[in-house]
Amino acid sequence: MKSSNYFRIATWNLERPTQKSWIRNQRRLDQIHQIDADVWVLTETNEAIDLGSDYEAIASIPWKDYHRPGENLTTIWSRWKKLRKLQTFDPHWAVCAEIDSPFGAMMIYGTVLPYANDKGLSGTAKRWEEHRRSIQRHQEDWLRIQKQYPDRSMCIAGDFNQSRDNSGWYEEKQSVEMLGVALDSLSMVCTTNQNFQEDIGRSTVDHICLSKRLVAYQESVSAWKGTTSEGKKMSDHNGVFVDLRCANARYISLNP
């Protein structure tokens, strides 16, 4: 359980839960409640993973003929009041919401970047090609939102499908550099670049990126395994979270 002195943001790919996988869904929910984040970006998720009345949810649109009942790619859950939902470049891939926070209004952008071998709509894309194309489209979207709301801090989180710790675990140099350039253009930092292999036995492809003005309040970053302490599977991804100090946070009054 986290301290009330911190604002916690977490992200986790849940590996496409089904509505009938009650046992594994309960493990996932138990882990989610244990992490106790104020904001969640859950990817490859399902409405069966319901965080309860303490949160408001903002979800991407399911893909017809791909998603099973209740599924969608990205859902933002926030304990803090949702102020508005913003349009993204593709409502199936990404979802964005403006929320209240201890730091004033904040843009939360949840998404998934394509995996290395995604063939794209043409079915002919080479390894990492669709991934790089998606980074460019995302960057354009992020810059559009930032230009529209220049006084808002921003968090971009989700399954980036690239490790960023120089381990070579699941990364291509060009793609990692492209995303780094995109974040630099936004004055943002990926807080989860570190190597988690010593802590959880693997690198992470799930990431949380923050405006530099928020990074000043960063206290810690941590990750957890996709299995329970007894070795029971929850997901093929680990999850990550970042804690921001609330004390002395500069709060901007909101009049949406």
pLDDT in tens, 177-208: 999 999 999 999 999 999 999 899 999 999 99
91 assigned to some structural domain: yes
Q: Which runs of E-coded beta strand occur in 16-162?
A: 39-46, 56-59, 71-78, 82-86, 95-99, 106-112, 153-159
253 assigned to some structural domain: no
150 assigned to some structural domain: yes
Q: Which two tokens stand for residue 256?
A: 């949406």
Please name every residue paired with 243 in a beta bridge, in sequence order, or none if there are none: 8, 220
pLDDT in tens, 54-89: 999 999 999 988 999 999 999 999 999 999 999 999
User: CB-based contacts of 106: which residues, under 8 Å, 6+ apart?
Assistant: 98, 99, 100, 152, 153, 154, 155, 214
103 assigned to some structural domain: yes
pLDDT at 249: 61
Residue 25 DSSP symbol: H
62 assigned to some structural domain: yes
Q: Is the pLDDT of residue 45 over 80?
A: yes
251 assigned to some structural domain: no
User: CB-based contacts of 193: which residues, under 8 Å, 6+ apart?
Assistant: 164, 165, 207
* Domains identified in the chain, total number: 1
CA distance 196 to 169: 11
> pLDDT > 90: what percent of the chain?
90
CA torsion 77→183→6→224, rounded to 10°?
70
Could you tell me which of 217, 225, 172 has the C-alpha nearest to residue 196?
Answer: 225
Among left, alpha and beta (phi > 0; psi -120 to 50; other), residue 52 is left
* Residues of the domain holding 229: 6-245
Angle CA 74–204–230, to nearest 5: 90
Which helix or strand (DSSP H or E) is residue 104 part of?
none
pLDDT at 254: 35
pLDDT at 122: 85
Q: Which two tokens stand for residue 203?
A: 């690198």
Q: Which two tokens stand for residue 226?
A: 């996709």
pLDDT in tens, 201-248: 999 999 999 999 999 999 999 999 999 999 999 999 999 999 999 866
For residue 5, the tally of other CB atoms under 10 A from its CB is 12
User: Per-residue pLDDT averaged across 90-98, rounded?
Assistant: 96
For residue 99, the tally of other CB atoms under 10 A from its CB is 22
Residue 4 binned pLDDT confidence (cut-offs 50, 70, 90): confident
SS3 label, residue 35: helix
Q: Is the pLDDT of residue 144 over 60?
A: yes
For the chain, what is the mean pLDDT?
94
Q: Which two tokens stand for residue 174?
A: 């060009």
75 assigned to some structural domain: yes
pTM: 0.95
94 assigned to some structural domain: yes
Could you tell me which of 160, 170, 96, 103 has the C-alpha nearest to residue 132?
Answer: 160
pLDDT at 237: 97
Q: Identify the burial level of 9 via C-beta atoms within 10 angstroms of its C-beta, where 0-12 means exposed, 13-18 middle and 19 or more buried.
A: buried
Report yes or no: 11 and 207 within 8 Å, Cβ to Cβ. yes
Residue 150 binned pLDDT confidence (cut-offs 50, 70, 90): very high
pLDDT at 139: 98
pLDDT at 3: 66
Residue 252 binned pLDDT confidence (cut-offs 50, 70, 90): very low
Enumerate long-range contacts of 189-193, CB under 8 Å, 24 or more apart. Answer: 189/215, 190/164, 191/215, 191/218, 191/221, 191/242, 192/164, 192/221, 192/223, 192/240, 192/242, 193/164, 193/165
pLDDT at 223: 97
Check which CATH number belongs to the domain holding 240 and give it: 3.60.10.10
